[in-house]
């Protein structure tokens, strides 16, 4: 009886490759192109933060203000871009309780650009 439950799980195709394949096909089919571009930018910013942190661990933090400003820039850009993605996601806009429905796409992008401008002006000021 125990052997039948074990054998049914191994032949069902629930391995990591099939899970990855179903996630990938669902993402490719269900996510619009502009959200994929935003996701790629989020991934690039995230990887930049990892590289900066690894560099700081390996080389050191001698110009600490420069490291801190760069890392704050990547974290802030990551947070602002995730917020942008949340505001333009059609699944979030379908919710009637969502307060973002009244905002146009141009307004959302303008807010994101302005927030990034303020963030990076602060970062440049912090570098000294």
Lowest mean per-residue pLDDT among 7-16, 40-49, 76-85, 86-95: 7-16
Which pLDDT does position 123 carry in this prediction?
94
Which pLDDT does position 12 carry in this prediction?
56
Lowest mean per-residue pLDDT among 8-22, 32-46, 77-91: 8-22
Which pLDDT does position 4 carry in this prediction?
46
User: Per-residue pLDDT tens for 38-78?
Assistant: 999 999 999 999 999 999 999 987 888 888 999 999 999 99
Which has more pLDDT, 68 or 6? 68
- 62 vs 82, 95, 106, CA distance in Å? 31, 49, 42
| pTM listed for this prediction | 0.80
* All structural domains of the chain with their residue ranges: 33-127
* Chain mean pLDDT for the chain: 86
User: Per-residue pLDDT tens for 21-44?
Assistant: 888 888 888 889 999 999 999 999
């Amino acid at each position: 009886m125990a052997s039948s439950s074990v054998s049914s799980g191994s032949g069902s195709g629930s391995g990591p490759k099939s899970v990855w394949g179903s996630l990938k096909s669902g993402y490719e089919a269900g996510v619009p192109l502009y959200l994929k571009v935003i996701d790629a930018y989020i991934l690039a910013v995230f990887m930049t933060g990892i590289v900066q942190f690894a560099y700081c661990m390996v080389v050191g933090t001698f110009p600490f203000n420069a490291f801190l400003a760069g890392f704050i820039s990547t974290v802030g850009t990551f947070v602002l871009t995730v917020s942008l993605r949340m505001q333009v996601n059609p699944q979030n806009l379908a919710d009637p309780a969502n307060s973002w429905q009244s905002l146009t796409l141009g307004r959302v992008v303008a807010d994101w650009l302005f927030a990034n401008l303020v963030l990076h002006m602060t970062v440049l000021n912090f570098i000294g």
